[in-house]
Homo-oligomer: A and B are copies of this chain.
Amino acid sequence: MTDFELRNIPDLIFGRGGQLRCGQLMREIGGTKVLIHHAGEPFVLPLIETVKELLRQEGLDFVELDGVVPNPRLSKIREGIRLCREQGVDSVLAVGGGSVIDSAKGIAMGAVYNGDVWDFYCGRAVPQAILPLGVISTFAGTGSEFSRASVVTNEENGLKRSADDFDLMRPRFAILNPELTLTVPPMQTASGASDIMSHLCENYFTATKDVYLNHKLLAAGMHTVIKNAPIAVKEPDNYAARSALMIVAPFVISGLLRLGLAGDWACHLIEHEMSTEWDIPHGAGLAVITPVWMTYVYRQNVPLFAKFAVDAFGIEYDFEHPERTALEGIAALRAFFSSLGMPARISDFHKGNITDETLRKMAGRIPYYGSKNTIGETFLLTEEDVWQIYKAAM
């Protein structure tokens, strides 16, 4: 096992009625004037009214900023920062899914930063302080409620970038009430579950050695998603299935299931350009790109991909032909995503003509790094490799 640190794990309030704790918890983390941040979608408005009443009961003042969209925008973060400064806001409560939480993290960092918040997203600055942040999650997917990252799209330059690995960015508490996800429509449920599965896979395909327990914990997460996601899609009000998805999401992204290993994460960078280009759900893009990526790289480590097939899907290991097992695992993952109704190819969600030039442009936008100018911690991909993967996903 590699050396690692796990710091600032948020307090977790899991279960029915958890949102009723939000006023007390905001007070405990030092809030006196709270920014309530949300998407403003109709389903969330009754919850927002409840939140306001609970804050009032604790004697807390508040302001409100809605309008967060999927693949959240930098302009909204800037608006929130202005609002916090004008109104003397000292704490933030995000009520929503990953987009709202990521937006709230940007606001909470930017409000106490004497510079442009975009600095944190393009590596020009490291946050030294943040407004205390609480979360009421309404969606199982990104796990942003436990993570130390925020992903934002800058409309000015068309770049989607993440500020990550900042321990202090973790929320102070996360309220996870699966009841709040019972109304999430099937396609969004499937997209969220695909995002969770992708986070498990990104970590699973590691170059770190000595990851026996790490792989066991990640496989436990995979089994849970594989079993419960189809149930949640078919029976939206199945509390048990919603619960299972809702707890795996933060556990994988926080490091509690991966512990010290280094994940690959190329698929996330490849997908970010897809959701930037076509404004598709992140999870749907990942469902397309992950099996394509696996097919592109698996020959570099057949034993690892064969182990995935066995660990994740219980496929019988072919001792004479391990490559067959590896390929069966990739096929099983593709079939799993398809069973959720996720697209299998880019052409499944984008019916127009897509030129090679567009794919080249997308591949060109990715922030490659290191001496070899690549992405992927385990399997190094150049811009040319990424372009090939986009083409194979068409």
Contact = CB atoms under 8 A, between A and B. Distances in A.
B14 A243 contact: no
Interface in A164-218: 178, 210, 212-213, 216-217
| A-B residue pairs, 7 tightest by C-beta | A3-B15, A216-B220, A1-B243, A9-B9, A7-B11, A6-B12, A213-B224
Given A16-B3, A217-B217, A256-B256, A227 B240 contact: no
Given A5-B14, A15-B3, A216-B224, A259 B240 contact: no
A394 to B, nearest CB: 36
Interface of A: 1-9, 11-18, 178, 210, 212-213, 216-217, 219-221, 223-224, 227-228, 240, 243-244, 247-248, 256, 259-260
**How many copies of the polypeptide does the oligomer hold?**
2
Contacts of A244: 1, 212-213
Nearest to A213: B224
Contacts of A16: 3
A247 B224 contact: no
Nearest to A216: B220
Given A216-B223, A220-B220, A210 B5 contact: no
B11 A8 contact: yes
Nearest to A227: B212
Contacts of A248: 213
Contact of A15 (B4, B18, B216): B4
Contacts of A12: 4-7
Q: Which of A8, A14, A178 gathers most chain B CB within 10 Å?
A: A14
A36 to B, nearest CB: 23
A97 B135 CA distance: 36
